[in-house]
Amino acid sequence: MKIFASGPSGPIEELQPLVDAGHSVSFGRLQTQPNRKAYTETELSIACLDAHVLMTSHLEPVTKNVMEAANALQLVIVPFIGVDRVDLSAATQLGVAVANSPTVENFISVAEAAIGFSLILLKRIKYNEGRLRAGLWGGLHDRGDLLYQKTFGIMGLGRSGIEVARRLSPWGVELLATDPFVDPQIAAQFNVKLVDLPTLMKHSDVLSLHATVTPETTHIINEKTLAWMKPQSILINTARGTLVDEKALFDALQSNRLGAAALDSFEVEPLNVDHMLRSIDPTRLILTPHNVCQTQAGRRSGIALAIEQILCVAKGQLPKHLVNPQVADNWRGQIHTHSNKEIT
């Protein structure tokens, strides 16, 4: 097969197993390059014109036009979890399988980041560091708070949410979660009480978002739902930016109707230099550039899982972590019955 990796995040030698298996691998713009720019739609269409597999990066939008131009394309794969940049509807229509690489390292990293954000804000670490660097010292009014005996809410008890619960279960906190699809027995294993959305938001001292983006969850954090939260509560988003109405969050923080927040993802990325959220006191709003959950261990495991799935496609099998299962009936990998020898 011909494989085009549009933006490898590490050494190109990491894809050597594909070459060793007899496949042709070409590389685009390495993410390690300074000031690396995303491909335009036209550039990406040309670059993967005869590719059977496109391993894409966080930056490139994989549009219908790209997939139509690459008429031999059988698989678009990301060596991470998010497939936000891929037009899934068009892929399914065109018979292109789309897969991601959800590894345990990623879910653990998300959980650690969410808990870490919570502790930084509760302990007022940024505030007190700022005072110290300004030549001041701590006083009674500078003290933080405990997570112990607080109520920690989890919106979305999937793989990331479960890892949060797993870690906090022995910490002496009350764990609440809302998720219409979770097995109550799984929640019970980690001492999580399942509740509805209003109850979750009204009772949580810390609310951590781990939901997927659907029409129902887009802007689920909005003016109405933020008004349900306690005035000193904390909102954490290490999931997807579109879960949060950023203007509503800005207003809640500005008016002190919300205590603090931490965001690692945004509705539009990169975050505009003049975005209103940048003006909020950084001791109350932590902003990170959608990388707080990224680790070298997670990156390597994601690459390995992506390679494993590409090799499955080379054998005429759909990938293990297919995100558009509806493609099975008209998958190009079945329609174009190439042998490995013919397409290497």
Tell me if residue 269 is catalytic.
yes
Please say if 124 is a catalytic residue: no
Strand segments, DSSP code E, in the chain are 2-5, 24-27, 53-55, 75-77, 97-99, 151-155, 174-178, 192-194, 206-209, 234-237, 260-263, 285-287
Beta-carbon contacts of 8 under 8 Å, excluding residues fewer than 6 positions away, are 14, 15, 27, 28, 30, 31, 55, 57
Selecting among 36, 129, 269, 278, the annotated active-site residue is 269
5 contact partners, CB below 8 Å, separation of at least 6? 12, 15, 25, 26, 27, 28, 55
Cβ count within 10 A of residue 213: 16
Which listed residue (29, 240, 299, 321) is catalytic? 240
DSSP 169: G
13 is catalytic: no
**Residue 33 DSSP class:** S
| HEC sequence for 253-320 | HHCCCCCEEEECCCCCCCCCCCCHHHHCCCCCEEECCCCCCCCHHHHHHHHHHHHHHHHHHHCCCCCC
Q: Dihedral of the CA atoms 291, 295, 296, 302 (nearest 10)?
A: -90
List 52, 210, 290, 332, catalytic entry: 290
Active site residues: 240, 269, 290
